[in-house]
Amino acid sequence: MKKGICFVFMLSVVLMTGVGWGQPKGELVVCQGAEVAAADPARHHSIPDTNYGLAVFDTLYLNDEHAIPQPRLAVSYKIVNDTTWEFKLRKGVTFHNGTPLTAKDVKFSIDRMIDPQTKTFFFPFISTIKEVKIIDDFTIHIITNGPDPLLLKRLSFSLFIFPADLFKEKGAEAFFQHPIGTGPFKFISWTRNDRMVLEANEAYWDGPPKVKRLIFRPVPEVATRLAELQTGNADIVTSIPPFLVSQVKDSANATVQSIPSGRVMFLYINCLADGPLKDKRVRQALNYAIDKKAIIDNILKGSGLQMAVNLTPLHFGYDPTMKPYPYDPGKAKKLLAEAGHASGLKLVFNTPSGRYILDKEVSQAIAGMLNAVGIQTDMKVHEWGTYTQILTGKKLQDIGFIGWSLVLSDADSTFFPYFTPESVFSYYSTPALKGKILKARTMLDEKKRLEIYKEIQKEIYEEAPLVYLYQQIDHYGVAKRVKGFQVRGDELILLHKVSK
């Protein structure tokens, strides 16, 4: 089962002076639903990894809660031409070892992440960047392969900045045993499946955190995480199951913050392997066979919104005119018969357990619905780390339950990784579909981009390379003593200014 995580912060109530924050003090505990995969951001592939990265490192820009990029290590930009952007860097920023940040560090960090040899999971999101040129110590030019309307959002997501000289001196393996960034917290230690310890960076350019110490502590079970919250040992808990929301709300010392998430839940379909799933009629039958409303109402207790394709209203490019596949088991059976499977077929159904809200339970319900139309399933439950290796290694057998976060708040960050063959996440693509996706990602005219995305959505609806399920609604348990914490639709946990 995927283990949860607790972030432990020491903090106390800190009053702002006229010029900044007081000294970091006290304790705050935050529990997530997954372990950090790696200290190296190039190896990350989930929200817990991003939250760790944002605590220790920094990005040039960072999306706010409305998905609008805001300056961080960069303070401004200007577009020199269609493929050249000039960025001015923030002066006076230092790494945790006291080394000043310069353009050399930014160039080195971006060069490493866009190098195919680095094999970062999220290369598809940053592959539009061709090179970085240093103009002076605090000015860089980023050159893209073509016009890139999403560059600021790309810089907001996964391009964390490292100290170039120290990284080269130590090498990647040694550097990430004790990583150094410019973020609000300093890395102290990490014992996998036990705890990761971070402490406040009191020299942080945006003011010191209000918390002194941060500890990532694995907590395997939801019940245990909630017990930690209700007994006062935890202050913020993510991924509260819907059936426990009222219990938390009724408790004396905690409340619930809920928000429609940018995360979409669906079933992978291996369209690459020979077999029945090559036939779109079978894939369409899978979509018609699943009663999404029943899952949302009965298992998720209303904590989900049906979706037509794997986009939400939070994504640029979302087409509100698209309607979800209706629940129609009769049509599912008819399509299976037309595809030569009137007597049914057997599929392997893969799922994680504990990574997403009620993932195993939802998968079991889906398996029952598939069985009702003649599709027998062999359920395989995986530990999250093993499951991601199967998925990204293109080794998925038949179908698998998965979620995908908001990422860049744009259709490109969903369509490019899932429907272009070069991506480790892709199990379906056609030359025509890839062409449309590439055309849209270099289109500066937003109206024309929207039209292309409408075409793509109609195509993937018809071809059904995924089984489209629901947009997740997230619930966070928050101790009443906590101040300054606000949930976000992109699932990022920003605690630099949280107090209690």
pLDDT band at 172 (very low <50, low <70, confident <90, very high): very high
**Has residue 476 got a pLDDT over 50?**
yes
Strand duo 26-32 + 236-237: pairing: parallel
pLDDT band at 477 (very low <50, low <70, confident <90, very high): very high
Report which of 21, 18, 58, 35 is spatially closest to residue 498, judged by C-alpha positions: 21
The H-assigned helical ranges of 359-410 are 359-372, 384-392
Under 8 Å between Cβ of 444 and 208: no
Tell me the CATH class for 58-178: alpha beta
Query: What distance in Å separates the CA atoms of residue 369 and residue 267, rounded to the nearest whole number?
Result: 14
Query: Can you give the residue ranges of every domain in the chain?
Result: 1-56+183-235+481-500, 58-178, 260-473
Amino acid at 351: T
Provide the sign of the torsion angle of the four alpha carbons 386, 392, 398, 401, taken in this order. positive
Provide the sign of the torsion angle of the four alpha carbons 154, 207, 254, 54, taken in this order. positive
**Has residue 135 got a pLDDT over 50?**
yes
Provide the sign of the torsion angle of the four alpha carbons 387, 390, 394, 398, taken in this order. negative
Tell me the CATH class for 1-56+183-235+481-500: alpha beta
List, in order, residues 6 or more apart from 287 with CB less than 8 Å away.
325, 464, 467, 468
pLDDT band at 225 (very low <50, low <70, confident <90, very high): confident
User: Which of 130-139, 146-155, 405-414, 491-500 has the highest mean predicted lDDT (pLDDT)?
Assistant: 130-139
- This prediction's pTM: 0.81
* CATH fit for domain 260-473, picks 3.10.105.10, 3.40.50.300, 1.20.140.10, 3.50.50.60: 3.10.105.10
% residues pLDDT > 90 (the chain): 73
Task: List pLDDT tens digits, range 28-38.
Answer: 888 887 788 88
How much is the average pLDDT of 488-494?
Answer: 91
